[in-house]
Structure 1
Amino acid sequence: MKNLEKVVLWTTLLVLCPFLTVFSQEASTKWYDKIGFGGYTQLRYNRLLETNDKLQCEQCDKSLGAGKGFFLRRARVKFAGDVNPKMYAYLQFDMATSAGNSLQHILSLKDAYFDVSLDNQKEYRIRIGQSKVPYGFENMQSSSNRLALDRNDALNSAVKDERDLGVTFYYAPTVVRERFKMLTKSGLKGSGDYGMFGFGLYNGQGPGRIEQNDNLHAVARLTYPFELENNQIIETSIQAYKGKYSIPLSEANLSTQTLWDDERIAGTLVVYPQPLGFQAEYNVGKGPEFNPQTMKTELQNLKGGYAQVMYLFRGDKHSFMPFFKYQYYDGGKKFERDARSYLVRDTEIGVEWQVGRYFELVALYMISNRTFEDALKPVNQVIGNTLRLQVQLNY
């Protein structure tokens, strides 16, 4: 055997050792008994007290604007559990995805991954499959936990649908994993357990999309939830990613380049609502953005983020959480036509009412100033206000 072949053989065996150990564990005779079922459904109406029916948001809620009515925003079902002492599986589907402008809903795959633990405490694990990219607290926070009806444009424009296909390594000591679990289960609006440290490689074009270039994206995140003597928890994070992205172009765009640099870095601060809370994130970077002056897509700097204040009133069976959120974004959206240019200044004032663990109602008044321009519509600023309602059922 040649030396090169020996190196490849031993390298492969070393990589596979942790996985061989996992599958050598004695599996439960009834592993399916450990699989849990759950989900949630969200119904929205966005047209109350509307001042401008041209106000839209392709990224967030397609039921904003003229000709729209009641909208099934999400209808999620998930299956998750330990199928092996060292392997956790997670599947999530959405039945609220519409085909174009049709209300004929289709079943779509949101998450499909498994975590392979490299130790008995599950502090070191490798996630393989389609999952959320560890970039941004609000991106990773489940829509069932988030206060505002939509994620902020600034960080959500980094990753299409917050997810992609790839492999990620996560590490978190047991005490930190328990803290992440508590922050979600207790109603404090945690983001879930994405490790204290994470590093991953993913396609970069978004979930359900074929990689269109030979460049994988790389992402890294470091976060820590500090617990103070008064039991208040403050989480700080830093995250960054880098890669290449292929954009869609319209015929009116004078540029012919489709492959662009795509890189960002972001900081996060979360003071969990006990009872007063604060949440803020900001990111900077560079990526493709349409320039209406030259009628071309160009590589430009981007910046933006949001700040949110909330207060938790908790009773025996009911809880109320009023909140105030402001967001700002100046940059392109790579997954939209021509990497559409955006300048967003939105203010949201709302309250969430929870009855037990199964029913939630959110009322939110949005004051919006959005400029979003591409080669087919190079001049487009829309200003408007609207009252938005959402009912959520958890199961």
Structure 2
Amino acid sequence: MLTAPVAIAQTTTSADSITATTVQGAGADKTRWYDKISLRGYVQVRYNRLLETNPQLKTEYDKSVGDKGGFLIRRARLVLSGDISERVYLYIQPDLASSPSNSSLHYAQLRDAYFDVALTKKKEYRLRVGQSKIPFGFENMQSSQNRLTQDRADGLNSALPNERDLGLIFYWAPAHIRERFSELASRRLKGSGDYGVFALGVYNGQTVNRAEANNNQHLVTRVSYPIALKNGQIIEPSLQAYTGTYTVTADQLSSNAIKGGDFKDRRVAASLVVYPQPFGFQAEYNLGEGPEFDPATSTIKTKPLEGGYAQAMYFFKVAGQAFIPFVKAQYYNGGKKSETDARHSKVYETELGVEWQPMSAFELAAQYTISDRTTQDARNLNNRQHGQFLRLQAQFNF
């Protein structure tokens, strides 16, 4: 069978800008994929050892902190996103700089891969299917591209290390509030993005990029509303909770003498955000219970946990360049379910710093950290380290 030849025509306004691409033939026009999908990203490069007082002080979140730490590409993210149909939105984000161990750097790892299916034309009701951030906590959902401090606070991030999991989440927000969420997500206002006024979801519960290890999925719910005041200030209170069963698997144990298994994993949290116009404030706190190493019996038990943080910031400009000084204090006392032996952790930490944004494509942050961290697992029953160090981070946005 013979078919009519197909000709590709491109209309441009300049040598490097294609404004329309059509396929001519069979009497129909088809939009090319690159008219629907956008590509963006950012890269963060760090050095953490200036003014260091204790090289034995380390963290699980940044493996370049402490002894033998050096320069580190902390994140190298690429985001493919766009509306692939009138009611289906695509979001895929790999990280090209994951560090699975202290000696291994720059491994590619999937962070996000989800689809939003709009249930109405206004897209006020959505189903999110795939691997995505779980709606628990404001800072957990705030992009690292926007966050002021270099790492998230232990208190809430220990609930969802890497913030993501596989599941199905329902989101609802009125159209005008979705627009407000979009405006707040700018780097100046440091928003978290659009995670709805109401969220209800089910997810595996073993944390990101780990296979499900039991027959019980986690349930999560969240209510959050950005309130616009007459003076232009916006405040956003939130309540959230999750419950499920977490399995401490064999690869998380330091020896065969420690037993893993299934443990209750549930928390409730409250958040309050005052967006920096020019003064800003964030505070979050959570309570719950989860797996935790017990040094008295050298076993893992379901034990209570609690922790949170408070952060103040101030936005101002000098000669068109943005500055945001900040101070943050955090506390956590409880288990770290995804770490070795679900190790017990007690954290007191204060961070003082400033973020400088001379242009949209570049940011430089300096942060002085005063830390007192105690961890307990079967290999080290009482590892307490305290010290101070200056951290620098260059971020490139594209």
Tell me if TM exceeds 0.5: yes
Answer yes or no: is 1:244 the counterpart of 2:245: yes
Change (3 A) 1:107 1:255: closer
1:51-77 CA-to-partner distances (Å, cap 9, x unmatched) read 00001111x111001011100000101
- Which residue of structure 2 lines up, in the alignment, with residue 22 of structure 1? none
How far apart in 1 are the matches of 2:324 and 2:220? 33
| Aligned 1:86-235 pairs, distance under 5 A | 86-185=87-186, 187-235=188-236
- Percent identity between matched residues is 55
How far off is 1:27 after superposition? 11
Q: Secondary structure at the match of 1:161?
A: coil
- Asked whether the equivalents of residues 138 and 191 of structure 1 are also in contact (C-alpha less than 8 Å), the reply is yes
Answer yes or no: is 1:264 the counterpart of 2:267: yes
- Which residue of structure 1 lines up, in the alignment, with residue 339 of structure 2? 336
How far off is 1:355 after superposition? 1.5
How far apart in 2 are the matches of 1:156 and 1:342? 13
How far apart in 1 are the matches of 2:56 and 2:94? 31
- Asked whether the equivalents of residues 253 and 297 of structure 1 are also in contact (C-alpha less than 8 Å), the reply is no
Answer yes or no: is 1:391 the counterpart of 2:390: no
Answer yes or no: is 1:290 the counterpart of 2:297: no
Single out whichever of 93-102 and 188-197 deviates more from structure 2. Answer: 93-102
Give the root-mean-square deviation of aligned CA atoms: 1.6
How far off is 1:138 after superposition? 0.2
Single out whichever of 48-57 and 97-106 deviates more from structure 2. Answer: 97-106
How far apart in 1 are the matches of 2:69 and 2:267? 35
Match of 1:39 among 41, 57, 71: 41
How far off is 1:40 after superposition? 0.3
- Asked whether the equivalents of residues 289 and 340 of structure 1 are also in contact (C-alpha less than 8 Å), the reply is yes
How far apart in 2 are the matches of 1:147 and 1:28? 43
Answer yes or no: is 1:307 the counterpart of 2:310: yes
Instruction: Report the AA paired with residue 221 of structure 1.
Output: R
| Aligned 1:309-324 pairs, distance under 5 A | 309-315=312-318, 317-324=320-327
- Which residue of structure 2 lines up, in the alignment, with residue 361 of structure 1? 364
Q: Secondary structure at the match of 1:188?
A: coil
Instruction: Report the AA paired with residue 334 of structure 2.
Output: G
List gaps (5 residues or longer) in structure 1. Answer: 1-25
1:57-112 CA-to-partner distances (Å, cap 9, x unmatched) read 11x11100101110000010111000001010001011111353345522111100
- Asked whether the equivalents of residues 42 and 78 of structure 2 are also in contact (C-alpha less than 8 Å), the reply is yes
- Which residue of structure 2 lines up, in the alignment, with residue 15 of structure 1? none
List gaps (5 residues or longer) in structure 2. Answer: 1-27
How far apart in 2 are the matches of 1:328 and 1:351? 21
How far off is 1:185 after superposition? 2.5
How far off is 1:315 after superposition? 4.4
- Which residue of structure 2 lines up, in the alignment, with residue 66 of structure 1? 67
Query: How many aligned positions are there?
Result: 369
- Asked whether the equivalents of residues 254 and 340 of structure 2 are also in contact (C-alpha less than 8 Å), the reply is no
Change (3 A) 1:225 1:320: same
How far apart in 1 are the matches of 2:78 and 2:100? 19
How far off is 1:178 after superposition? 0.5
Q: Secondary structure at the match of 1:160?
A: coil
Answer yes or no: is 1:278 the counterpart of 2:281: yes
How far apart in 1 are the matches of 2:213 and 2:117? 28
Single out whichever of 291-300 and 193-202 deviates more from structure 2. Answer: 291-300
How far off is 1:193 after superposition? 0.4
Change (3 A) 1:135 1:254: same
Q: Secondary structure at the match of 1:207?
A: coil
How far apart in 1 are the matches of 2:383 and 2:256? 16
How far apart in 1 are the matches of 2:320 and 2:88? 36
How far apart in 2 are the matches of 1:193 and 1:90? 13
How far apart in 1 are the matches of 2:141 and 2:323? 23
How far off is 1:258 after superposition? 1.5
Q: Secondary structure at the match of 2:185?
A: helix
Instruction: Report the AA paired with residue 120 of structure 2.
Output: D
Single out whichever of 155-164 and 250-259 deviates more from structure 2. Answer: 250-259
- Asked whether the equivalents of residues 253 and 260 of structure 2 are also in contact (C-alpha less than 8 Å), the reply is no
Q: Secondary structure at the match of 1:155?
A: helix
Change (3 A) 1:125 1:149: same
1:150-209 CA-to-partner distances (Å, cap 9, x unmatched) read 000000000121000000000000111010000112620000001110000000111211
